[in-house]
Each structure stands twice: as structure tokens, then as C-alpha cells.
Structure 1
Amino acid sequence: MSKIEFTGINHLALVSSDMARTVDFYQGVLGMPLIKTIELGGGAGQHFFFDVGNGDSLAFFWFPDAPTAVPGVSAPAHRPDQGPITSAHGSMNHVAFGVSADRIDHYVEVLRAAGVDCTEVANHDNSEWGISREVTDDVYVRSIYFTDPDGISLELAAWTQPLGPDDVSHPPRDASGAVVA
């Protein structure tokens, strides 16, 4: 018997600086249906939910007095093709939405037609740098990176092959960088 029987991710809650702009981007540009809206008591803000498929949701809080984001701390300062993607411990680095592998090349055009600055499709493989110019048998996921109006890092990702036991081959490192056996 497992400790907890997971069925997926119910929702991931992020923080928006402008809920109207967030709804315009996620519903209007990306096409995610808005499925639940909540006004928080005492004027504390709002909490909205978008359907991302398979019963999963992406949620946003809007707080009228929330501190401003700090790129490079609360989130990456860059897209992967523009500079370092490091963010602080405990931060959310990016959200990757699953898409069909046979449509991912088309989605670059869809995003750009909507005025969204995005990467070309990245072919992630098992090479030293983790990326291939070509789609090879070693490519395990293809993805596109972009940001929302608040600078939240987003990814459209398409698995290209099933993962197996050989895909778990690196030991974890502790805070000092030492391998934990």
C-alpha cells in the first residue's frame, strides 16, 4: 500500500500583479478556460482557477498589497535561451504544460501570432549540454519557453518517448554539492 494515492496535480497557485491581465493572457491568448473565481474576504484579494486539462488546474492569487517580484530571486531572471535560469530556494522556477508532440512545432507560430516572445522548440536529450539541434532517438522531450505578463516562466513540453528505469541514473546532491549515497 502506498503512503498517499496521488491522482495528479489539483492546482498550482501563483501570484498575479493584475488579475484582469492574467485572465486575458491565460484565457484569451493560451485558451485555458476560467473555471472558478473567488473574492477573498475582507478585501484580501482574488483567487482564480484555469483548466489546464486532465482535471488539473492553474490558479492565481491577486493580493492588493503583495510585494513586487524580484527576477533572479523569486523567479528566473531569463528564459533558458537568454541567460541563467537560477531562482532562489523555495521559489517556483517554471510551469510546464503538457502538449502533443505532433503539435509542438506549430505552437511556436501560435504563440508568436498572439504577440508572445518565445524560444524555438528545444530538443532535450541526454548529451552533456542536454540539447540537440536535431530530433534524434536520444531526444526525450521537446519544449518551448516563454513568460506570462508577470514574468512567470512557462513551458510547453511534449514527451517524445516513454521514460524507464535507466532515466533515473544520477544520485542526489546535498546543499554543499556533495553526492548523497
Structure 2
Amino acid sequence: MQTKGINHLALVCRDMAETVAFYTQALGMPLVKTVALPDGGQHFFFDCGGGSLLAFFWWPDGPPAAPGIASVKDFPAEPRSAVGSMNHVAFDMDEDQLEASIARLQAAGVHVSVPIVVNHDDSPMGVAREMHEGVWVRSVYFRDPNGIMLEYAAILRGFRPDDVAHEPGRAREPAIA
């Protein structure tokens, strides 16, 4: 068995109309499918490029957001979220499009995290203030109206065997099924 990539990622929003406006207008993602659920909810799909979809569920009586548990509370100060949660969604983008994406976000009134462009490298901090040969991805982080952390990410080089250099961590206690 081999997958071909991500078909769709399904998230939950607090207001479908606000979510549709943000993703279609601020991010330019076409709304391609809408579904009315039998329980009064909705399930909408956006084309996020590369043959992948980003979907949202909405229920009029859905539970409230839980920052720091089900999502990032504050990036970059408090980037953790709970096991089984969704930390953030990164959209692939060419590096030469990053600056234009920032301008488009800011023109739409979207707050972009500081530093605006993050240079990810293999240093102990994992980021560099300046561009250098060791930077493997450059990112721009921002939030949607639901508080969901989003990222535009530009991979700068192919992955190499030495990019897998760490042993996986272990939980202090086994998971309970």
C-alpha cells in the first residue's frame, strides 16, 4: 500500500461564513464543495493547491476552542499542544512567493508572527536570524479567524540521509488504549 499524499485535512471552525471569507479572500483558496450535515452542521472543502484539500466542519452548538490543548496557545512563546491535537497546517510555497504572501496577508488585516520570515536550520535553536547555506526551509506563520496556526513554508533543498539524525523520544508512560 502506498498513499499519494494528503487528500484533505479536516478541521473545526467556529463560524463557517467567517472561515469561508478568510480562506477564499485572504488566502485565495477556492471553495470547491459544500455539504449540509443531517445534524445541522456543515462540512466545506477548499482547494489548497497541489491536489490537496483543506476542509472545515461547523456545528452551531460546537464546543469552544481550547488553546494550549487542542491548538497552539501562542506562537512562538507557547507552541505546544496536546497529544492527538493539530499543532499547525503548513502550505507549500515557492520561496520567491513568501514576500508577496506577507503583503497579501497584511493587506487583508491578518497578523503575521514575528519574526516575519523564520529561517529554519539545524542549529541548536533550530532557527537563524540570517539566511545561510544551512537553512532548509523558510516560513511565515499566521492564524485564521478560528485561532488555527497556519504556515507558508518554502523548502529550499531536498532531504538527505543526514537529515535523519535523532533518535525518537519515548513517552514517560505508555499510552492507554
Is the structural similarity TM-score above 0.5?
yes
Q: Which residue is equivalent to 1:86?
A: 80
1:31 pairs with one of 22, 28, 31: 28
Task: Give the distance between the partners of 1:63 and 1:42, measured in 2 at CA.
Answer: 8
Q: Which runs of 5+ in 1 are unaligned?
A: none
2:98 pairs with one of 98, 101, 104: 104
Task: Give the distance between the partners of 2:136 and 2:68, measured in 1 at CA.
Answer: 28
2:19 pairs with one of 12, 22, 31: 22
Write the deviation string for residues 127-146 of structure 1: whole angstroms up to 9, x where unpaired: 01011111110000000001
Task: Give the distance between the partners of 1:53 and 1:114, measured in 2 at CA.
Answer: 20
1:167 aligns with 2:159: no
Q: Which residue is equivalent to 1:143?
A: 139
Q: Which residue is equivalent to 1:7?
A: 4
Q: Secondary structure of 1:88's match? A: coil
1:60 pairs with one of 56, 59, 62: 56
Q: Which has the higher contact order (CA 8 A, sep 6+)?
A: 2
Write the deviation string for residues 58-90 of structure 1: whole angstroms up to 9, x where unpaired: 00000122110111111010122xx11001111
Write the deviation string for residues 153-177 of structure 1: whole angstroms up to 9, x where unpaired: 1000000111111101111011129
1:71 aligns with 2:67: yes
Task: Give the distance between the partners of 2:96 and 2:109, measured in 1 at CA.
Answer: 22
Sequence identity, in percent?
A: 53
Kept in 1: contact 2:26–2:104 (CA 8 A): no
Using the size of structure 1 for normalisation, the TM-score is: 0.92
Q: Which runs of 5+ in 2 are unaligned?
A: none
Using the size of structure 2 for normalisation, the TM-score is: 0.94
Root-mean-square deviation (CA, aligned residues, Å) is 1.1
Q: When the two structures are aligned, how many residues end up with a matched partner? A: 171
